A and B are shown apart, each in its own frame.
Chain A
Amino acid sequence: DQQVKQNSPSLSVQEGRISILNCDYTNSMFDYFLWYKKYPAEGPTFLISISSIKDKNEDGRFTVFLNKSAKHLSLHIVPSQPGDSAVYFCAASNGGSQGNLIFGKGTKLSVKP
């Protein structure tokens, strides 16, 4: 049973446009959500996070939105750049413990020049 789902395996966006990556979760006990970016043959790199007490968190070009009632979060990248091309993972944790992250299967973002 997949508790964190990223239903789009891939996304292609034109440079300069907005990229929207989506993530759904089923466990209402999750209270902290993170987005990671991963290049091939490297470990995931932390991008941005959000606590369940917030509905939005912004860091430069990256904004994460959380809709608790829908159990849905999204990552917006504006404007998208070719260097953003990577696999993006959504992750969630329960009870504030970062030692056990539940990951989605990732969305491969391609930003075309």
Chain B
Amino acid sequence: KAGVTQTPRYLIKTRGQQVTLSCSPISGHRSVSWYQQTPGQGLQFLFEYFSETQRNKGNFPGRFSGRQFSNSRSEMNVSTLELGDSALYLCASSRMRQGNTEAFFGQGTRLTVV
């Protein structure tokens, strides 16, 4: 079955702009989480969505937001982009929120802010 799909794969934006990234989870998976990967900080949790509701949020400013649709697809938005937002943004899906089930990652969106 198809894996987690993230679009676009690469993106270049200018400081001050906003960006929307998309994630389609594995069919049947209802939990979608977003992570930011940077060389200095590693993989850091942004937020988690389940049944169209944000269930958890990491320690990121309010410029980072997201949503989940009824088909479990998710988008994340970053407004007023800063140079430090340049990173690989990864989406992960899992069948459930709880229980010992692994999360599967997409290939990520590489965002470069110039």
A101 interface contact, C-beta 8 A: yes
Q: Determine if B48 and A100 form an interchain contact, defined as CB atoms under 8 angstroms apart.
A: yes
B105 touches A45 (CB 8 A): yes
Let me know if A60 is at the binding interface, CB within 8 A.
Answer: no
A95 proximal to B (CB < 8 A): yes
**Do residues A46 and B102 form an inter-chain contact, with CB atoms below 8 A?**
yes
Number of A-B contacts (CB under 8 A): 79
User: Smallest distance from the beta carbon of B4 to chain A beta carbons, Å?
Assistant: 7
CA distance A89 to B43 in the complex (A): 9
CA distance A19 to B31 in the complex (A): 33
Inter-chain CA distance A42–B9, complex, in Å, is 10
A95 touches B100 (CB 8 A): no
- Whether B98 pairs with A41 at a CB distance below 8 angstroms is no
Majority-rule SS of A interface residues = loop
Asked if A98 meets B43 with Cβ closer than 8 Å, knowing A41-B110, A43-B90, A43-B108, the reply is: no
- The size of the chain B interface, using a CB distance under 8 A, is 32
Max chain A Cβ within 10 angstroms of own Cβ: one of B33, B43, B101, B108: B43
Give B91's nearest chain A residue, CB to CB: A43
Q: Are A32 and B100 in contact (CB under 8 A)?
A: yes
Asked if residues B97 and A98 are in contact (CB atoms below 8 Å), the reply is yes
Q: When each residue 82-113 of chain A gets 1 if its CB lies under 8 Å from chain B and 0 otherwise, what string results?
A: 00000001010001111111111110000000
Instruction: Tell me the bound Cα distance from A46 to B106 in angstroms.
Output: 11
Interface residues of B in 40-89 (CB under 8 A from A): 41-45, 48, 50, 55-56, 58
B residues lining the A interface (CB < 8 Å): 4, 6, 31, 33, 35, 41-45, 48, 50, 55-56, 58, 90, 92, 94, 96-108, 110
Which chain A residues have a beta carbon within 8 Å of chain B's beta carbons?
32, 34, 36, 41-46, 49, 51, 89, 91, 95-106
